Structure 1
Amino acid sequence: MVHPPVPSDTLLPGQSEEDFRGRVEAALAAYLETRRADAAAIGPVFAEAVDALVGFVLGGGKRIRPTFAWWGWQGAGGDPDGPTAAAVLQAISALELIQASALIHDDLIDASATRRGRPTVHVEFAGRHADSGWSGPPARFGAAAAILLGDLALTWADDMYADAGLAPDVVARAADPWRGMRTEVLGGQYLDVLTQATGDDSPGAALRVDRFKTAAYTVERPLHLGAELAGAPPALVSAYRRFGADIGVAFQLRDDLLGVFGDPEVTGKPAGDDLREGKRTLLVALALERAGDGPARAEITGALGDPDLDAAAVERLRGLFGELGAVQAVEQRIAALTGAALDALTTAEIAEPAASALQDLAIRATRRHA
Structure 2
Amino acid sequence: MANDELTGNLLRVAPDQSIDEDDPIQAVLAAYTRDLGTAIDRILAEFLTPEVDSLREIDAAMGDFAATARDCVLAGGKRVRSTFAYWGWRGVVGADQPVDPVLPALATLELLHTFALVHDDVMDASALRRGRPTAHVAVASRHAAAGRNGNSDRFGEAVAVLIGDLCMVWADQLLARTALPAPQLMQVRRGYDRMRVETIAGQYLDVLGETDPSNWSVDRALRVARYKTASYTVQRPLLFGASLCGADDATVITAYTRYGRSVGEAFQLRDDLLGVYGDPLTTGKPAGDDLRTGKPTALLMLARQLASPAQRRALAGTGPHVTESAVAQLAEVVRDTGAVDRIERMIDERIEDALATLDALTIDETARTALVGLATAAARRSA
TM-score (norm: length of structure 2): 0.90
Runs of 4+ displaced beyond 3 Å: 8-12, 78-81
Asked if the contact 2:94/2:364 (under 8 Å) is kept, the reply is no
- Residue number in structure 1 paired with 2:58: 42
Task: Tell me, yes or no, if structure 1 residue 57 matches structure 2 residue 110.
Answer: no
Q: Given residue 314 of structure 2, which amino acid in structure 1 is its aligned partner?
A: E
Asked if the contact 1:10/1:23 (under 8 Å) is kept, the reply is no
Percent identical among aligned pairs is 43
Q: Where does 1:327-366 land on structure 2 (aligned, <5 Å)?
A: 327-366=340-379
Alpha-carbon distance in 1 for matches of 2:335, 2:328: 11
User: What is the CA-CA distance between 1:80 and the residue it aligns to?
Assistant: 5.8
User: What is the CA-CA distance between 1:201 and the residue it aligns to?
Assistant: 3.2
Asked if the contact 1:12/1:80 (under 8 Å) is kept, the reply is no
Moved more, 341-350 or 102-111: 341-350
Q: Deviations over 1:140-162 (max 9, x none)?
A: 11111000000000111111111
- Residue number in structure 1 paired with 2:27: none
Q: Given residue 322 of structure 1, which amino acid in structure 2 is its aligned partner?
A: R
Uncovered stretches (5+) of structure 1, i.e. residues with no partner: 1-7
User: What is the CA-CA distance between 1:351 and the residue it aligns to?
Assistant: 1.0
Q: Given residue 119 of structure 2, which amino acid in structure 1 is its aligned partner?
A: H
Across the two proteins, how many residue pairs are aligned to each other? 358
- Residue number in structure 1 paired with 2:41: 25
Q: Given residue 353 of structure 1, which amino acid in structure 2 is its aligned partner?
A: T
Moved more, 322-331 or 54-63: 54-63
Match of 2:196 among 165, 171, 182: 182
- Residue number in structure 2 paired with 1:124: 138
Alpha-carbon distance in 2 for matches of 1:12, 1:241: 30
Aligned partner of residue 316 in structure 2, secondary structure: helix
Residues 1:272 and 1:362: Cα distance change in structure 2 (over 3 Å): same
Aligned partner of residue 6 in structure 2, secondary structure: coil
User: What is the CA-CA distance between 1:51 and the residue it aligns to?
Assistant: 1.2
User: What is the CA-CA distance between 1:170 and the residue it aligns to?
Assistant: 2.1
Q: Deviations over 1:7-31 (max 9, x none)?
A: x579962343222211111111111
Alpha-carbon distance in 2 for matches of 1:11, 1:52: 35
Alpha-carbon distance in 2 for matches of 1:34, 1:345: 41
- Residue number in structure 1 paired with 2:147: 133
Residues 1:120 and 1:32: Cα distance change in structure 2 (over 3 Å): same
- Residue number in structure 2 paired with 1:5: none
Q: Where does 1:1-370 land on structure 2 (aligned, <5 Å)?
A: 13-14=6-7, 15-16=9-10, 17-79=33-95, 81-82=97-98, 85-199=99-213, 200-232=215-247, 233-292=249-308, 294-303=309-318, 305-306=319-320, 308-370=321-383
State the structure with bigger RCO (CA 8 A, min sep 6), 1 or 2. Answer: 2
Asked if the contact 2:291/2:330 (under 8 Å) is kept, the reply is no
Aligned partner of residue 169 in structure 2, secondary structure: helix
Alpha-carbon distance in 1 for matches of 2:2, 2:125: 40
Asked if the contact 2:299/2:339 (under 8 Å) is kept, the reply is yes
Alpha-carbon distance in 2 for matches of 1:27, 1:286: 43
Asked if the contact 2:127/2:134 (under 8 Å) is kept, the reply is yes
Q: Deviations over 1:262-309 (max 9, x none)?
A: 1000000011112222211111000000115x1211211212x22x43
TM-score (norm: length of structure 1): 0.93
